[in-house]
Structure 1
Amino acid sequence: MAAATAKKTASSISAQDYTAHHLQVLEGLEAVRKRPGMYIGSTDGRGLMHCLWEIIDNAVDEALAGACDHIAVVLMADGSVEVRDNGRGIPVDIEPRSGLTGVELVYTKLHAGGKFGGGSYTASGGLHGVGASVVNALSSRLDVEVDRGGRTYAMSFRRGEPGAFSDAAGAEGAKDPEHPFTAYDKGSELLVVGRVKRGVTGTRVRYWADRQIFLADAAFDYGGLVSRARQTAFLVPGLTIVVRDERRLPGTAGEEGPHEEVFSYDGGISEFCEFLAPDAPVTDVWRLQGAGTFTEMVPVLDRNGHMVSTEVERECDVDVAVRWGTGYDTKVVSFVNIIATPKGGTHIAGFEQALLKVFRKQLELNARRLKVGNDKIDKEDILAGLTAVVTVRLAEPQFEGQTKEVLGTSAVRTIVSRVVEQELTARMTSTKRGDKAEPAALLDKLVAEMKSRISARLHKETQRRKNALETSTLPAKLVDCRSNDVERSELFIVEGDSALGTAKLARSSDFQALLPIRGKILNVQKASVGDMLKNAECAAIIQVIGAGSGRTFDLDAARYGKVVIMTDADVDGAHIRTLLLTLFFRYMRPLVEAGRVYAAVPPLHRIEVVNAGSKKNELIYTYSEGEMRRTLASLSRRNRTVKQPLQRYKGLGEMDADQLAETTMDPRHRTLRKVTLSDGEAAERVFELLMGNDVAPRKDFIVESGAELDRERIDA
C-alpha cells in the first residue's frame, strides 16, 4: 500500500512540474549530433560511408551540371579523408538573408544549398541541403578550400563550429583535429590563403569523422568506395574519378604503399550494363531513351522569404539499358540523378509494368510460332537473365528519407512506363534485317522460362498429391538410403559404375545414398537452360535432390542434408568435380550458400608398414605427395620397414569396400571439404573465366599461370 501511494505521489508531482521549460529546442547542428541515425542511417561503417558519399555526391553534382570532369577521393593515413573536384567552387560571397558567406552557409545550416528551386542544378543527387552540414556536424574537424576568382579561400570547423586551428599556417601533414581550436566570437572569417591561375576553380574538403559519434570499429570500406566510384564513372560519361588509399592497412592492396585506381568510361550505362552482366548474351545491350513532363505543387521561396505553394512543370529524362543473357539471375540497378536507389521506387515500378505489357502483347502476336497456347507470361519469366540499368533525371525528386533508397515521385512511374513501352516495342517489331534475330531469340527464351516455371509448378503439385502407395519417379540408378531424416542423410555423387559397386558395400545404407554419373557432365556455363534440362546426368541430379532448379529452387524441399561429390583423385576427377560445382553454382546456388555441398577427399597413397611376427601390418593413408614423403621420412627415422611398391590410387574403384569406407565415407574417419560462397561476384567471374564461352581470357590465364604449376602433380 505504501509503495502504491509513493508511486501515485511521484506521478502527480511529475505532472505538476512538467511545464514548458522542460521542453528542449535543438538549435542548428545540435539535432544532427543528438540523433545522427536520423540523417545517416547508423553510426557504424555504413554511416561513415554515407557521410563520405554525401561529399562525393556534391562534387558529382558539379559534373552533372557540366562544370567538373575530375574528382579525387583520398583516404589519408591519419584517418581523415579528402575529396577534391575541379567544379565551379562553393560561392564565397555573402548570402544576403543570413549574412554568411556561401561556404559557411553550406556547412553550418541545414537545408541550405543550391539544390532548391532549380536555379543552379537542373538535376542533382543532393536534394535536401543537409549533406555537407551533416558531415560537418559529425566531424571532429573539417577543412574546406575553394578556388574561385584567382584566389584560394579556406575555412575550418570543429564539430560544426567555424573557427581556426593553431596549425592553420602549418604544413598539410601537420593538420590534426586535436590541435588547439579558437571559435569565432562575433563574425566568421573566410580566409584567403593563396592564389591560383585565372579560370582555375574547384573545391577541396578534408574531414576527420568524430569518434565521439561513430563506433570505434567503424572504418571506411575501400571496396565499397571503389564500387561506388566505378558506378558513378559509368553513369557520368567523361568524368574521371581517382580513388587513392594511403592507410597501408594489412591485407589490403595498399599494404605496401599508396594504392590508386582511376575510373573513366565513355560508354555510359550501355557499358555499365555489359559490365554487370553475369552470363552469355541472348541480346546486345538495348538503349531505351525518352522524356516526359509533369506538374506538381511545390513550396517556393518568394522575395520576402515566405514559402508559397506554386505549380511548376518538371521534365523527367529516362535512360535505360537492358540486356538479356542465357542465365536466370536478374541484375537490375536503378538511379535517380546518379544516386543509387537499391530499394527501387516508382521508376522501377514503371519499368517492370512496361516490360510485362510489351512482352504479353508480343507473345499474343507470335502465339502460333511460339506454341504458347493459353499460358500467360509472368514478370519472373521476363526478369530471368535480365541485366538492366534504369536511370531517371529530374529536378527535386521526392525520396523516402535522407538516405535516398526509394524514389517516391509518383508521376515518374507513368513516364518511365511510357518511354520503355514505346522504345522496347520499336525494338521488338523492327523490320530491319539485322534487328530481327535478337527479338526472336529473346521471345524463345522467355517462352522456355515460362514453360519451365509451369512445369515446375505442376511437378510440385503432383508431388504433393502423391501418396505412399504410388511408385517413385526417381532415376533407377539411384541407390537411396532408408532414413527420411534430411539433416542426417547424405547423397554421394560418384564417378562411374566401378566406384558405385565399391561404394555400395562401403556405405551406411541407413543414411547414405549413391547416385552414379557417367563421365563428364554437360558444361552448363556454356549451355542454355533447355540443353541442361535435356542432359540425362544433369536432369537426374536435379530430380534426385528434389528441390527444383534456377528460380524455382526451394532449399527446404531438398531431400538430403549433405551432397558429397566423390570423384577420382586425378585431373579427370578434378574436371568432373568442377563441372558438377558449375551445375550447383548456376542452378542450385542456395544449396552452396547454405553450406550443404561437399567434396570428398579420397587418399592418393596407401603405405603398408610391416610389423614383426604375426602382428597385422599397419596401413597409413596419405592425401598428397608432400604428406607421403614426410610420412616415409618419419618411418625411416624410426627404422620401420615399408612394403614396396607403395600403392598409388588412380581411382576410387581400386579400393576395396573397407578401404573406401575408412578413408572417404565413414563420418568417423573421413575428410570432407565444404564448398562455400563468400563472394558471389568473384565466383561468377571465376566460373565465367574457367567454364565460359570466351576462350581467349582462359588461354591467357593458363599461359600466365603455367609457371606456378607443380609438374609432379600432373598424372602422366
Structure 2
Amino acid sequence: MTPRRVRHERCRQARIRWVIVTAEYSAHHLQVLEGLEAVRKRPGMYIGSTDSRGLMHCLWEIIDNSVDEALGGFGQRIDVILHDDGSVEVRDRARGIPVDIEPRTGLSGVEVVFTKLHAGGKFGGGSYAASGGLHGVGASVVNALSERLDVDVDRGGKTWSMSFHRGEPGVFANGAPDSAFTPFEERSELRVTGKAARGVTGTRIRYWADRQIFTKDAAFNLEELEQRARQTAFLVPGLEIVIRDQRAAEPVETTYRFDGGISEFAEFLAPDAPVTDTWRLTGTGMFTETVPVLQPTGAMIPTELQRECHVDVAVRWGTGYETVQRSFVNIIATPKGGTHQAGFELGLMKVIRAQVEQNARRLKVGTDKLEKDDILAGMTAVLTVRLPEPQFEGQTKEILGTPAVRQIVANVVSRELAAKFASPKRDDKAQTAQVLDKVVAEMKARISARAHKETQRRKNALESSSLPVKLADCRTNDVEASELFIVEGDSALGTAKLARNSEYQALLPIRGKILNVQKASVSDMLSNAECAAIIQVIGAGSGRSFDLESARYGKVILMSDADVDGAHIRTLLLTLFFRYMRPLIEEGRVYAAVPPLHRVIVMNPGSKPNETIYTYSEQELHALLAKLTKSGKRWHEPVQRYKGLGEMDADQLATTTMDRAGRTLRRVRMQDAEGAASVFELLMGNEVAPRKEFIIESSDRLSRESIDA
C-alpha cells in the first residue's frame, strides 16, 4: 500500500472511530445526583453564588426558620453568634425541631430536616399559617454546604444532638471541624446528650461553611447581618434579635427590638422631613388556590384551598424626591418586587389620579397626566403581605409570583387610601391636600424638565451670555478636561482669575453661606440665587431630572477658605450636591480644593535663594519647624498664617491650589448613600436635639487651637 493510501486509510479509520464515540448516547451516560449531591454539584442554583453573598444567604436560611417560629408565636428571642473559628451559631427558644420518627423515611425529624431536600413543616400541614420557608431546602442546603454542622434540640425535658459532615450524619472525635469523623454505617442516631429544664424548648445550630464550596474571601458581613436583623425586628414587633461578634479582640454585641412595627420602620427609612404622618393601610382578602396536599397515606393529592392574604402597608410622603420602597412576604424581603408591589402601585395610582381629577381646578392641572414616578417621588413605603405557601420565583425568594395577591393588595390600598382622602378630620384634610400639591408639583417639574432637555444644548464660549454674569467660563469644549471652581467670595475671585488656566478652568463665585437645602423645600432652593446659579452653570438639571451626560464640566472643585467658616460653606455646598446633583458625587466628579494654612520662608545662607514651604495643618507646621531647628536652619518670623484665599497672591494660589502640577484635591466619595444621608440630616437637618447631642459628645475631640476665633 502506498504511503498516500496508508495516510488516507488511517484518516478514514480515525473519522469512523470519532463518529462511533460521539454517536453513542444511551441511558448509562446519564447521571442521577441523589440526596444532597445536587446541592454540592450546583450550589449556585440554591444560594445564588458561592461568595460572601451566598454565605450570608445560608445564614439567613437558618435564622428565618427561627423567625418563622416567632411569627407563629413561639419564642421571642434569637441569638446569632459569629465565633472566632469561622463558624456561626443560631439559637432560639421556640418549639424545637421534632425529634420523633418520621414514618415514611424511618428517620428522626432532625435528620429529615437536615438531609432531605423538600422536607419540612411548611407544605400546608398546618404547622405554619405563614412562613418565609417554602421549599423545604433551606436547612438541608446549609448542611450540604457545611464542612461540619452540629444541632442541639431541647424538647421533652431532654437535649437531643446530632452532627453532620458535608451533609452526612455521624460522630466527630472532638469539637473541631477538622477532627476525625465517623459516619453512621447501618442506622443513624439522634443522641440524648443532656437534660433540659421543664418547659424549656428550642434549637441551637452551629456550622462551619465548607471552604471547598465557598471562595477564599467569602466572609460573614457584620454590617449586612445587623441591617437584616434590624429589618426583621421591625417586621416582627416584640421579637428580640441579639447579634454577637466574637471574631475581634473585643467582642461586640447588638440587640434589636422594635414594638412599633412597620410604622416605625418607615420612619427609620425615610430620608427627608415629613409632609404627612405615616399612614397605615391594612386589610385582608381571600382567594382560591389548587395545591398538592400531603395526605396521611403519603400521597400528594391536588386540593382546592381557600387562602387568606393579610396586607399591611405603612406609607408617608416627605419633602424630598427620593422614593424608598421595601416589600416583604412573610417577613422575607422581595427586593425585586412581584405581584404584591404591582398591586400596591396599582391601588396608589388609581386613588391619587382620581383625587387629582376631582381637584383639577384648584391644582391647575389642565390636560397633563400623572405618571407613576410623580406619585412615588418623596414617598417612603413598607409593604408586607402574609399568606400560606406563597409562590416565589426561585429559592432566593426575590420576586413574589402568586397572581391573586396583586388584586387583593390593590383593593386594600385603594379602599384604605380613598377613606383617608375622604376623612373629615382636619389633619387628614391638610395632609391629603399637601400630597396632591406635591405630586402635581412633581408632574409639572417633570414636564418642564423634559421640555428644557429637548431644547438645551451645551453652551460654548460664544453662547455663554445666557449664563450668570459672574461666571468666568473656560474656553475648551472638552468636558472631561474642564474644571469648575466654586469660589468663596469676590475677593478670592480676583486672585483666582489671575491664577487659573483659562483654557480649561472656569470660576463661579458665591457670596458666603448658601441656603441650607436640607431644611428648605425644592421651590425655596430653586428661588435661591446662589443655588440656582450653580445648577444653571453645571447645566445638567437637578433632582430626578438630573442628566449626568449634560454636565458642562468634568470636575467641580469647591474652593473655600481653610477655616471654620470655609468648612461650613463647603458642607452647605456638599449638601446641595448630595440632595440635588448626587450622580456627580457618585461618579467621583466633585472635589474639595486643599489650600495651605501656612507659608514658611526658609532662609538659606549666602546667595542661595530662600525656600518657600507650605503646610496644611498645625501639626504639619510644628513638625516642619522642629525639623528645621534640628537642621540648624532659620526662617522668617512670624510665619504667615492664611486667613483666607484672598490673602494669597496669584502665583501662590496657582502653585498651591489651582495648578494641576502641584495642587492637592480631595475627591468627595459616597460609598454608602444611606449613611451619607444620615450624616447630612444630623448636621444640616431640622432636628436640633440630635445635633446638639452630637456637638456635646464630640466636643472633647476638638482642639481649642483649631478654632479660628
Q: TM-score range by the shorter chain?
A: over 0.9
Provide the residue aligned with 2:3 in structure 1: none
Separation in 1, partners of 2:139, 2:486: 58
Match of 1:32 among 18, 21, 39: 39
Identity value in percent: 72
Distance 1:705 1:471, change over 3 A: closer
Deviates further, 188-197 or 565-574: 188-197
| Secondary structure at 1:315 match in 2 | strand
Aligned counterpart, 1:79: 86
| Alignment deviations for residues 485-506 of structure 1 (CA, whole Å, 9 cap, x no partner) | 1110000000111111111111
Indicate the SS of the match to 1:193. strand
| 1:609-639 deviations in Å (ceiling 9; x for gaps) | 3455666543222222222233333334444
**Contact kept in structure 2, 1:448 and 1:530, CA below 8 Å:** no
| Partner residue, 2:198 | 198
Structure 1 position 364, deviation (Å): 1.1
Task: Give the stretch that moved more between structures: 16-25 or 648-657.
Answer: 16-25
Instruction: Supply the distance in 2 between the matched residues of 1:385 and 1:476 (Cα, whole angstroms).
Output: 34
Counterpart residue type for residue 657 of structure 2 = T
CA-CA distance at 1:301 after TM superposition? 2.7
Q: Check 1:577–1:471 CA distance in 2 against 1; reply closer, same or farther (3 A cut).
A: closer
> In the TM superposition, what are the counterparts of 1:30-69 in structure 2 within 5 Å?
30-69=37-76
**CA gap 1:182/1:616 in 2 versus in 1, 3 angstroms:** closer
The question of whether the paired residues in 2 share the 8 Å contact of 1:525 and 1:688 is answered with yes
| Distance in 2 between residues matched to 1:573 and 1:7, nearest whole Å | 82
**Cα deviations by residue, 1:210-268 (Å, 9 ceiling, x for unpaired):** 111111221111111111111111111111111111112xxxxxxx3221111111111
* Residues 639/198 of structure 1: CA separation in 2 closer, same or farther (3 Å cut): closer
2:686 aligned residue = 693
Decide whether the 8 Å contact of 2:285 with 2:408 is kept in 1.
yes
Contact 1:118/1:395 (<8 A) preserved: no
- Deviation track 1:46-97 (CA, whole Å, cap 9, x = no partner) reads 1111111111111111111111211111111222111111111111111112
Q: Structure 1 residue 578 and structure 2 residue 585: aligned?
A: no
Looking at structure 1, the residues matched to 697 and 458 of structure 2 have their Cα atoms a distance apart, in angstroms, of 56
The answer on whether the counterparts of 2:461 and 2:473 sit within 8 Å (CA) in structure 1 is no
1:166 maps onto 2:178 in alignment: no
Structure 1 Cα separation of the partners of residues 121 and 128 of structure 2: 7
SS at match of 2:431: helix
* Structure 2 unmatched runs, 5+: 1-6
For 1:702, the equivalent position in structure 2 comes to 695
Match of 2:424 in 1: 431
Residue in structure 2 matched with residue 251 of structure 1 by the alignment: none
In the alignment, which residue of structure 2 is the partner of 1:482?
475
Find out whether 1:113 has 2:120 as its counterpart. yes
Q: With the length of structure 1 as denominator, give the TM-score of the two structures.
A: 0.95
Give the conservation status (yes or no) of the 8 Å contact 2:594–2:665.
yes
Q: What are the residue-to-residue correspondences of 1:398-547 with 2, within 5 Å?
A: 398-464=391-457, 472-547=465-540
CA 1:470–1:595 in 2, change beyond 3 Å: closer, same or farther?
closer
| Structure 1 residue identity aligned to 2:26 | T
Assess, with a 3 A threshold, how the Cα gap between structure 1 residues 594 and 225 changes in structure 2: closer, same or farther.
same
- C-alpha distance in 1 between matches for 2:583 and 2:229: 30
Report SS of the residue matched to 1:530.
Answer: helix
Q: What amino acid maps onto 1:565 in structure 2?
A: L
Q: 1:6 to 1:712 in 2, by over 3 A?
A: farther
Question: Which one-letter code corresponds to 2:689 in the other structure?
Answer: A
Letter in 1 for 2:164: F
Question: In the alignment, which residue of structure 2 is the partner of 1:330?
Answer: 323
In the alignment, what sits opposite 1:285? Answer: 278
1:343-367 per-residue CA deviation (whole Å, 9 max, x = no partner) reads 1111111111122111111111112
The aligned counterpart of 2:136 is 129
Q: Decide whether the 8 Å contact of 1:358 with 1:425 is kept in 2.
A: yes
Q: Is the 8 A contact 1:155 1:191 kept in 2?
A: yes
- Provide the C-alpha distance between the structure 2 equivalents of 1:35 and 1:123, rounded to a whole number of angstroms: 29
Q: Give 2:108's aligned amino acid.
A: T
Moved more, 88-97 or 486-495: 88-97
1:251-291 deviation per Cα after TM superposition (whole angstroms, max 9, x unaligned): xxxxx322111111111111111111111111111111011
Which residue number corresponds to residue 148 of structure 2? 141
Q: Distance in 2 between matches of 1:10 and 1:216?
A: 43
Aligned to 2:384: 391
Give the 3 Å change call, closer, same or farther, for CA 467–261 of structure 1 in structure 2. closer
Q: Secondary structure of 2:556's match? A: strand
SS of corresponding position for 1:499: helix
Taking a change above 3 Å as real, the CA distance of residues 165 and 489 of structure 1, as seen in their structure-2 partners, is same
What amino acid does structure 2 have at the position aligned with 1:599? A
Tell me how far apart the structure 1 counterparts of residues 605 and 161 of structure 2 sit (CA, whole Å): 89
**C-alpha offsets along residues 123-176 of structure 1, whole Å, 9 cap, x if unaligned?**
101100011111111111111111112121111111111122233xxxxxxx12
Shift in alpha-carbon separation, 1:15–1:539, aligned structure 2, 3 A = same
Partner of 1:253: none
Residue number in structure 2 paired with 1:252: none
Equivalent-residue separation in structure 2 for 1:626 and 1:244 (angstroms): 39
Which of 536, 554, 559 is the matching residue for 1:561?
554
Mark the CA change 1:601 to 1:367 in structure 2 (over 3 Å): closer, same or farther: same
Deviates more, 1:131-140 or 1:463-472: 463-472
**Partner of residue 594, structure 1:** 587
Alignment of 1:304-323 (within 5 A): 304-323=297-316
Q: Using the alignment, how far apart are the partners of 1:38 and 1:611 within structure 2?
A: 72
Deviations along 1:547-604, whole A, 9 cap, x unmatched? 1111111111111010000111121111111100111111111101111111111112
Amino acid corresponding to residue 85 of structure 1 in structure 2? D
Letter in 2 for 1:682: G
Aligned to 2:26: 19
| 2: CA distance, partners of 1:398 / 1:7 | 53
2: CA distance, partners of 1:67 / 1:476: 70
When normalised by structure 2's length, the TM-score is 0.96
Per-residue CA deviations over 1:87-120 (Å, capped at 9, x if unaligned) read 1111111111221111111111111110002411
2:571 is paired with a residue of what secondary structure?
helix
Instruction: After TM superposition, give the deviation of residue 466 of structure 1 in Å.
Output: 9.3
The residue matched to 1:233 in structure 2 has which SS? helix
Tell whether the 8 Å contact from 2:343 to 2:405 is kept in structure 1 after alignment.
yes
Cα shift at 1:539: 0.8
> Which residue of structure 2 lines up, in the alignment, with residue 189 of structure 1?
189
Query: Is the deviation greater in 291-300 or in 486-495?
Result: 291-300
Q: What is the CA–CA distance in structure 2 between the aligned matches of 1:233 and 1:416, rounded to whole Å? A: 23
In the alignment, what sits opposite 2:257?
264
Name the counterpart of 1:217. 217
Cα distance, 1:467 vs structure 2: 11
